[in-house]
Structure 1
Amino acid sequence: MAQPGLITAPGIFDLISARLADRMGFDALYMTGYGTVASYLGLPDAGLATFTDMLNRASAFAHGTETPIIADGDTGYGGLLNVAHTVRGYEAAGLAGIQLEDQEFPKKCGHTPGRRVIAMNDMVRKISVACEAREHDDFLIVARTDARTTLGLDEALRRAEAYEKAGADILFVESPESEEEMERIAGAFDKPILINNVEGGRTPVLTKSRLEQMGFKLAIYPATGFLAMGQALEQVYKGLQQDDVVGATKDHLYEFEAFSRLMGFQAVWDFDKAHADE
């Protein structure tokens, strides 16, 4: 976070997306709650996944990659004691940071309707507990407020300021609805500011150079990967319904041997060779 410039963190949602992104040289990855719940449980991101569900996935992502991962921790999965337990679990799993939000339980995806927030002071206490619970200061606490949509931008900025004072390392004002609002957010704080880029969501998706000019430090793209996957899968599955399957899927498929190497088969092949019968 101390390096100059904007950090781009693509969303990962399963071990294939994690392995692909991990080998591409990004400075950070972002474990998307929406995509993870969808891929793991086939359910909407509406507070249905448990702490155990999310820790299972977060741990697998962390152990399957080398790039630092910031992971969605939803509301902390309960009260203050739950928040402390969640932070310790995510840190022990090998993650670089956790995102906590001020929604009421059950939470909802930040670019969908029906979100409500808890009292600001209750979230301040959650952030304080999260900071106390971590073992190392370099495990980052991302404080997210969803107040913009229902309570307005001024209230969202007031909350972000309170979360900054409570010790959050990165501030995240969800769902600004114009470039003017984004500029206000980016220029309002001394702590690094995260911007959430969701294609088809409530916030304009701008160029990275524009985001950096505004003053944002971390740009996450949680939906890009699974939206691309959905589009690609639908296209090639339609190809399977045609007579000329090879022609219909040509140029849309990852090369099989390369994909096998991506998934770690090289180590299997090397092991088999080393222990082959003479």
Structure 2
Amino acid sequence: MQMQAAISMKMGLSNISSPSHLQRLLFLASGINHRKIINSASINKNARINSKNFHSSMSVSASYDDNVDATPSPPSSSYQAEKLRKLLGSPGIHLGPACFDALSAKLVEQAGFDFCFTTGFGISAARLALPDTGLVSYGEMVDQGEQITQAVSIPIIGDGDNGYGNAINVKRTVKGYIRAGFAGVILEDQVSPKACGHTRGRKVVSREEAVMRIKAAVDARKESGSDIVIVARTDSRQAVSVEESLWRSRSLADAGADVLFIDALESKEEMKALCEVYPLVPKMANMLEGGGKTPILSPMELEEIGYKLVVYPLSLMGVSIRAMQDALTAIKGGRMPSPGSMPSFEEIKDILGFNKYYEEEKRYATNISQLTSQSGYSSASSDTYSTQQISEDNSSGPFSGIWSIKLRVKITGRDGFEKLDIQIPVSDLVNDLMTIPYLCLTYFVLVKIKEIMNKKGMQLKW
């Protein structure tokens, strides 16, 4: 629904105690959801600046579409799940290092990997600096996961631990991971609190409860209209026996699991035995770096055995810890880390996307600083710029047509002489207009006017 509003205001800035005070007044006055996207037509505002020497008048045109929400959507879990399923159906074995935050996930993607996965171990360490013993919560895992999935375009498999409770909790976990943008979720059969894989103290729930967790996950997937990949993990090899782990793997596949994973298998023969369980169901191998229970095999060997996915849970976390320790030792000793131990500043900026940001900045730039700093500013040329250049710059952008709005500011001294007459694209007034109710532009307009006046040697008292 298209909505328009016309508002006339007169305000003495001396009566406004703070920007937040002004914002609250405008929020209350508008009654409009500030998350809606503003996109075209007409609000007329008149505001007066009370000072010793100047007064001003201004007009702003804007409107918003009540049907469009400016809140960015997370990546589609179904789309990412489809990509992961295509990967599982493609020839060869696929390698995926574990990430623990958005930056590590971005590095995995930039290195050319087809998928990535998270671990409770890595997120417990990165987020809490605590061991993976059930201390990290469902909410923390989802929050970290959403940051990761939004940072990359490759599918991410999220570690759902033991589902954080009973079958009902498992359903909530799966639905939360779907909303967070995960392509897959790993669910294990450990009791709560859980223990980390390849460590002592692991206990598993009954066979029936283990199967019911996977059935609950399948139901949650159906109810969400998603196609998230369910990776069923059993820790019963260490808790009970290899025979028990093979029995559970068959039952978990029957319950609807898409991928099977037995943690901490102790020999190549045991790994072969898993791959013989429902050969058409993909298997995942866990190559724990640095000394786990499972033999470290090459991707080629794992593919020959029958594995489809192989994951490396500690590589990025481990080398990061050692690199930080070495750097801290150097700094404490009064030295800089060796040049070969870290990328250059330019490389770091490139990894983080500074160059891409600069290109985007050029694309949407309005050259307002140049326009307002030059004397002899022409309102006619401003009209041409506003209607043509902004349209050209934004015609193919994700927010095209939203902020082709201009503000005219005229300031006349009490001596009757015109001090300022300019037109400002509203998009220049704040860094991120999409998060602010349009009525709040009034405050930012006044701030902009003050900046312009200061540049011209004029003073304005608030």
TM-score norm. by structure 2 comes to 0.58
Alignment check: 8 A CA contact 2:149 2:156 kept: yes
SS in 1 for 2:198: coil
Separation (CA, whole Å) in 1 of partners of 2:139 and 2:217: 18
Asked whether the equivalents of residues 32 and 223 of structure 1 are also in contact (C-alpha less than 8 Å), the reply is no
Select 1:170's aligned residue among 244, 259, 283.
259
Q: Which residue is equivalent to 2:295? A: 204
- Give per-residue Cα distances to partners, 1:153-199, cap 9 Å, x unaligned: 00000011110000000001110011121121122223101111111
TM alignment of 1:34-183, pairs within 5 A = 34-134=121-221, 135-136=224-225, 138-183=227-272
Q: Is residue 2:351 matched to residue 1:262?
A: yes
Cα displacement (A) at 1:63? 0.6
Deviations 1:27-53 (A, max 9, x none): 110112101111011111111111100
CA deviation map 1:130-151 (0-9, x unaligned): 0111134631000000000121
Query: Which runs of 5 or more structure 1 residues have no equivalent in the other structure?
Result: none
Q: In terms of mean alpha carbon deviation, does 5-14 or 228-237 score higher?
A: 228-237
**Structure 2 residue corresponding to 1:252, chosen from 341, 346, 371:** 341
Residues 2-49 of structure 1 deviation map (CA, whole Å, 9 limit, x = unaligned) = 001101111001122111011222111011210111101111111111
Give the conservation status (yes or no) of the 8 Å contact 1:80–1:126. Answer: yes
Q: Percent identity?
A: 37
Deviation digits for residues 224-262 of structure 1 (CA, Å, limit 9, x no counterpart):
1101111111122222133442xx522000121121122
Please state whether the residue corresponding to 2:341 is helix, strand or coil. Answer: coil
Specify the SS of the correspondent of 1:39.
Answer: helix
Moved more, 132-141 or 45-54: 132-141
SS at match of 1:118: coil
Question: Is this contact kept in 1: 2:249–2:277, CA < 8 A?
Answer: no
**Counterpart in 2 of 1:192?**
282
Match of 2:116 in 1: 29
Distance 2:167 2:305 in 1: 34
Q: Is the 8 A contact 1:12 1:225 kept in 2?
A: yes
User: Which range moves more in the overlay, 200-209 or 257-266?
Assistant: 257-266
Separation (CA, whole Å) in 1 of partners of 2:305 and 2:296 = 13
Q: CA deviation at 1:275?
A: 4.7
2:315 partner letter: T
TM-score (norm 1): 0.95
What amino acid sits opposite 1:165 in the alignment? Answer: D
Unaligned 5+ segments in structure 2 are 1-87, 371-462
3-state SS of 1:30 partner: strand
Aligned pair partner of 2:332 in 241, 261, 266: 241
Q: Which has the larger radius of gyration?
A: 2
Deviations 1:67-89 (A, max 9, x none): 00001000111111111111111
